[in-house]
Chains A and B, each alone.
Chain A
Amino acid sequence: MDFTYDSEQKALRDAVRGLLTKAYDSARRRDVVSDEPGFDSGVWAQLAEMGVLGLPFAEADGGMGAGPVEVGLVAEEIGRVLAPEPFVEAVVVAGGLVADLGTAEQKAAILAPLSDGTLIPVLAHTEPGGRWEPVARAVTAREDAGTWRLTGTKEPVAHGARADLLVVSAATPAGTGLFVVDPTVDGVTRTGYALHDGGRAAQVVLDGAVGTPLGAADVDRTGDLEVAQARAIIIRGQEAVGAMQVALDTTTAYLTTRKQFGVTLNKFQALTFRAADMYVSLELARSIASWALLVLDSGADPREAAARTGFQIGRAGHHIGQEAIQLHGGIAMTAEYSVGHYMSHLTALEHALGDRRFHLGRLAASVGDHGTVDPLA
């Protein structure tokens, strides 16, 4: 049982932190997200140069062969400055699926250029009317004379307009399949837009667009998608921890400097107690998120750990995000000040991968299957 980073991990964290804190202060981030593509291509290239974009992939596939702990610490640094780069979308989710399921040719064609920063793949899964289940309904794929064609709408697709490649889930006779789609081919229409937190998403309309099955054809990928989502929830948990830590730090710094009634705000116990409660929420969430990362690292099925993380992080994100704004007062309502953006992003994180109710529902459905929950078992 050890929750500390080794020296190589610390070096990686310091390098990523150095890069990202130099790239993003609050003003710089606002500039970057107000322009297309919504992130900084230069930062993306630097991340590639540091090997960050290939972290989880096998060396044979052009990656670094690192594990979830390294990926998680990058996500935490991203969360600390709300870096808008699509690291989780491209590397963890889409890249992860390709690494899990792709043929040798697909891995070679996708993972190496992803690692060197020249290709951004994303998963197009969410559909209007759908929630967070790992099933496709609205988009269908049919095989005709050896060619698969996809039809239907995906929305919102994170970074869907900028992406160089789409991994699309679609209903097939065998269940939910996954297809690699080149977004520049006929039958793909993409309409991109900015999100409340500065992120990017798109509507992707497929109208007989040609796709290639990811890995073997005619396989139901529901379980694989669910594992990929679980992995994303756990990595996003680290990102949320980074964001919550900074939201709390910003709040406590403000309380010790802002004066009203002739004293700094930290003289008011009604406020300091609420900050203490934010700290409790953060530490409990951090504990679960770190544990989940280690479950992922151990190679065990990550789904339960993901639900536990999703619930705890969702709850803490609400608490810390809301209180960070309230304890600041009006200043936090301004787009110029940083803290409101943290709440905005935490809210987006939660709704990308399952909200508190969704995860709690899963946990409640299986609560009778065990006596106690033993993290060391």
Chain B
Amino acid sequence: MRLQLSPEDAAFREEMRTFFTTQVPQGIRDAVAERRELSKEQIVEAQRVLNAAGLAVPHWPAEWGGKGWTQLQKHLWHEEMLQACVPPPLSFNTNMVGPVIATFGSDELKERFLAPTANLDIWWSQGFSEPDAGSDLASLRTSAVRDGDEWVVNGQKTWTTLGQYGDWIFCLVRTDPDAPKRQQGISFLLIDMTSPGVTVRPIELIDGGVEVNEVWFEDVRVPADQLVGEENKGWTYAKFLLGNERVGVAPVASTKRLLAQAKERAQEKLADGSTLLEDPLLAARFAELENEVLALELTALRVAANSAGDKPHPASSVLKLKGTELQQAVTEIVVDVAGPASLASGAPDGSDVPHWARVATPQYLNYRKASIYGGSNEVQRSIIASSILGL
């Protein structure tokens, strides 16, 4: 057992820190620090800076830009990125469809898609969920029927995050409605969102923002060579995709950063000359959250430092569950620190209420999503109960 990073890992961390804090445009990092919404252009620019330096897809196979890093190095890369307020590479591209194509796709698909996917020349959307297929994803109904050299797609996807920016969408579609098990009739299809018959409609969320969409498919014709891997094996690829994201699943560094920011605000002088942090009840809440975040970070390090090969460390399932709970708890304490100023969410720039207080409640509302998507926290509990505890 050893507390310190090895000299090589410490140097690696330093190298990452230097890169992220000096090479990614300050304006983008400031926007992240201030919790402002990033434009599509900013997200693309940040990813291209990373990709040019070989830091967008380090976990991909080496021939497609991967670095062959250890789990711990991937963890440090991810944490330093968040700590430096660098927006991480678009997850749909780098964690989801990229690895699926790299692992299961034909050579043609790899040649065609992987480089532009890493560079965010193509913006991917994820078309898995449907109105009647949420946690029970295998009940999806969007169908693809073979017609010559094409698949004809009909149905509806929903919750499509940032679908308004999407160039392409990777979808799970039902290609064999008669398969003996629901999971066996599903395929993984890549669809150009400019194809005739694709309609994207925005869904407004409780924070007033528009980050998810419904996507409708009406007789959309998709070239047959855009089916990844084998027909009716899509469920296997989807499971690979969902299980792929282990390291970085708990956004520790950004939660830590937000907590420190909130604490700083709580130390500012109020009109009566006191500070909020002088209140022992609030100080105790901060202390408690800090301890829990430390426990989470150490658990992430345990998982990263002691993951043998590709086998996930059993404690990794704790990360999503606790990581999202703490992410939410920290967005909540920001609202409480803002207090009555948190009501001024509609105030324009130039208001006496600072920006951080104005976005506090919308962000708090928005982050209720974190325990729902990516396998809800109830699904995570089911996984812990069945695969770790044997229940």
Contact = CB atoms under 8 A, between A and B. Distances in A.
Interface of A: 1-5, 9, 69, 248, 252, 255-256, 266, 269, 272-273, 275-277, 279-280, 283-285, 287-288, 290-291, 293-295, 297-298, 308, 311-312, 360-361, 363-365, 367-368, 371-373, 375-376
A312 B295 CA distance: 8
Interface string B226-247: 0000000000000000000000
B293 A373 contact: yes
Nearest to A265: B391
Contact of B72 (A1, A4, A277, A361): A1
Given A275-B391, A372-B257, A287 B298 contact: yes
B259 A275 contact: no
Interface in B60-114: 72
B318 interface: yes
Contacts of A361: 280, 284
Nearest to A277: B381
A368 B72 contact: no
A297 B3 contact: yes
A254 to B, nearest CB: 11
Contact of A308 (B2, B280, B294): B294
Interface in B288-330: 288, 290-299, 301-302, 305-306, 315, 318, 321-322
A371 B264 contact: yes
Contacts of A285: 295
Chain A CB within 10 Å, residue with most, of B267, B280, B381, B389: B389
A297 B391 CA distance: 37
B297 to A, nearest CB: 6
A286 to B, nearest CB: 8
Given A294-B1, A368-B267, A288 B305 contact: no
Report the 3 A-B pairs with minimum CB-CB distance, sorted nearest first: A287-B298, A294-B3, A363-B287
A280 B318 contact: yes
B385 A273 contact: yes
A132 B380 CA distance: 39
Contacts of A277: 381
A56 to B, nearest CB: 16
A365 B283 contact: yes
Chain B binding surface SS class: helix
B256 interface: yes
B208 interface: no
B378 A360 contact: no
A254 B284 CA distance: 37
Given A1-B72, A252-B390, A288 B385 contact: no
Given A287-B302, A361-B284, A368-B267, A3 B1 contact: yes
Given A367-B283, A368-B283, A284 B299 contact: yes
Interface in B1-48: 1-6, 9, 13
B200 interface: no
Contacts of A3: 1, 301-302, 305-306
A275 B2 contact: no
Nearest to B278: A368
Contacts of B9: 1
Contacts of A266: 385, 391
**B280, B322, B385 — which one has the most chain A CB atoms within 10 A of its CB?**
B385
A69 B1 contact: yes
A71 to B, nearest CB: 12
Nearest to A264: B391
Contacts of A284: 292, 295-296, 299, 318, 322
Given A275-B389, A280-B321, A283-B318, A364 B286 contact: yes
B1 A290 contact: yes
A140 B315 CA distance: 50
Contacts of B283: 364-365, 367-368
Contacts of B3: 1, 291, 294-295, 297-298, 375-376
Given A360-B287, A367-B290, A272 B385 contact: yes
Contacts of B294: 288, 291, 308, 373, 375
Contacts of B288: 311, 360, 363
B344 interface: no
Contacts of B299: 283-284, 287
Given A275-B389, A276-B385, 8 more contacts: A272-B381, A276-B380, A279-B389, A287-B301, A308-B291, A363-B291, A367-B277, A368-B277
Given A290-B298, A368-B277, A272 B391 contact: yes
Contacts of B381: 272-273, 276-277
B306 A2 contact: yes
A162 B18 CA distance: 60
B384 interface: yes
Interface string B243-262: 00000000000001101100
Nearest to B277: A368
Nearest to A272: B385
A271 to B, nearest CB: 8
A328 to B, nearest CB: 14
Q: Most B CB atoms within 10 A — which of A2, A256, A272? A: A2
B298 A288 contact: yes
Contacts of B368: none
30 contacts: A2-B306, A275-B389, A275-B391, A276-B381, A279-B318, A279-B388, A283-B299, A284-B292, A284-B299, A284-B318, A287-B301, A288-B295, A288-B298, A290-B302, A293-B1, A297-B1, A361-B280, A363-B287, A363-B288, A364-B284, A367-B263, A367-B283, A367-B287, A373-B256, A373-B290, A375-B3, A375-B297, A376-B3, A376-B4, A376-B13
A313 to B, nearest CB: 11
A1 B389 contact: no
